[in-house]
Structure 1
Amino acid sequence: MKVVLYGATGNSGQRILQELTNRGHEVTAVARNTSKVPSAVKAVKDDLSNVDAIASVISGADVVVSAYAPPQDNTDALVGVTERQIAAVKKTGVSRLIVVGGAGLLEVAPGVTLIASGYLPEAFLPIATSHEKALGILKGSDINWTYFSPAGFFEPGERTGKYRLGTTNLIANEKGDSRISFEDYALALADEIEKPAHERGQLSIGY
């Protein structure tokens, strides 16, 4: 499949890029700085500031994956980026947008998100709130979207090939730990691209 990957040089983006290329997908890696993109991969420089530019990059793709991470001092940049990506997807007719989301929106109890629970550290509230706004924009759109939230701890690790999926719930183990490696997240995302099961909705993951 032809996949356009935004944020291809970031923590999750690098692993997603590797997983997709290892599976033989034709990936266009998009980043603000393309020097970190492997030479064997098509790289495009774009800062997601212009709808027409985004549309030019994604035209002809089967799937767009956004692993975009906004600046820490302006997390709401994510909101504008999401709006422009949706507009570009509509303009080009690309069939699917998958967004690497956040865990703050996931429910830790029925109807209670991690944000609302009071357990989310204050330092993470700005980005979690921006993700909440971005998800609202996706829900209000008429494109085919998937918002894929990681576990509470999303970090470098191993590609174990094992994971559990949910939808709007935070996935945790019997000890209450909510974790997933970048590598297993990338594996699950590639699985979802190849066998869509969560279109127009949320998806969560953990061990």
Structure 2
Amino acid sequence: MTETIHPMNITIFGATGKVGQALVREALNRGHDITAVVRDASRLKIEHERLHVVEGNLLDPATVERNAKGREAVISAYGPKPGEEEELLEAARSLIEGVRRSGTKRLLVVGGAGSLLTDDGTRLMDTPSFPEEWFPLAAAHADAYVIYSRSDLDWTYLSPAAALEDGPRSGNFRIGIDRLITDELGSSRITIADLAAALVDELEDPYFVRSRFTVGY
């Protein structure tokens, strides 16, 4: 007999991106109540009686505080536009400050894969095959991860596989900590839907509190 999960009140930042929308759908499908904080409400095409859409700026700690207050958890799926990678650091600081002020302790963040370790102990972003144009974003994600890891919140940081793909939700994936997960052919991949499933699994049944984890096939 499976344990019944208590429905939670959750705030999600970055809900209009592909990962954010997948998280909203996954959490709604599991019976949770969602407040989605977005810059432009017209970009979120999901409608549900348990979804409340609020316009606000993640980079403003007061906005974070207001929308995190009274919630059981805050999730960030925020990703910056190309050329604005440094906003990731500003977003990390704003989230930590605002969530702390709100009295909510649980913060879950979808980050980057670049700082995961390959088999020889090298960070993925430092390997010769890592695309040069992705390096600024990977470096910003790595710096943001350090900021989260030094906070006093009950944070969890989810690094995806190297390739984040469109595709179905299988619910069948492997979980790791700091090492990139690859298949027998050396490929590292996960669908956005399964990434969302993994994060909501962690939300409902916390295991990686104050730590990072990763998922892949």
Unmatched segments (≥5 aa) in structure 1: none
What code does the residue aligned with 1:31 have?
V
What code does the residue aligned with 2:40 have?
N
Report what 1:116 is aligned to.
126
CA deviation after TM superposition for structure 1 residue 142, in Å: 1.2
Unmatched segments (≥5 aa) in structure 2: 1-7
Report what 1:193 is aligned to.
203
Report what 2:26 is aligned to.
19
Report what 2:17 is aligned to.
10
CA deviation after TM superposition for structure 1 residue 29, in Å: 1.0
- State the Cα deviation string for residues 101-129 of structure 1 (Å, max 9, x = none): 11101000353210122321001101000
* TM superposition score normalised by structure 2: 0.92
- Name the SS for the 1:109 alignment partner: coil
1:70 aligns with 2:77: no
Query: In 2, Cα distance between the equivalents of 1:141 and 1:161?
Result: 30
1:49 aligns with 2:59: yes
Query: In 2, Cα distance between the equivalents of 1:54 and 1:135?
Result: 19
Aligned-pair Cα RMSD in Å = 1.0
Query: In 2, Cα distance between the equivalents of 1:118 and 1:200?
Result: 31
What code does the residue aligned with 2:105 have?
S
Report what 1:99 is aligned to.
109
Single out whichever of 110-119 and 192-201 deviates more from structure 2: 110-119
Query: In 1, Cα distance between the equivalents of 2:196 and 2:71?
Result: 19
> Are 2:11 and 2:34, in contact at CA under 8 Å, matched by a contact in 1?
yes
Report what 2:145 is aligned to.
135
Candidates 56, 63, 68, aligned match of 1:58: 68
Query: In 1, Cα distance between the equivalents of 2:125 and 2:15?
Result: 27
Candidates 158, 167, 190, aligned match of 1:157: 167
Query: In 2, Cα distance between the equivalents of 1:143 and 1:16?
Result: 21
Query: In 1, Cα distance between the equivalents of 2:76 and 2:25?
Result: 15
Identity %: 38
Candidates 36, 51, 59, aligned match of 1:29: 36
Query: In 2, Cα distance between the equivalents of 1:69 and 1:135?
Result: 13
Query: In 2, Cα distance between the equivalents of 1:49 and 1:106?
Result: 26
* TM superposition score normalised by structure 1: 0.97
Query: In 2, Cα distance between the equivalents of 1:62 and 1:4?
Result: 8
What code does the residue aligned with 1:162 have?
N
Report what 2:3 is aligned to.
none
Report what 2:5 is aligned to.
none
What code does the residue aligned with 1:23 have?
R
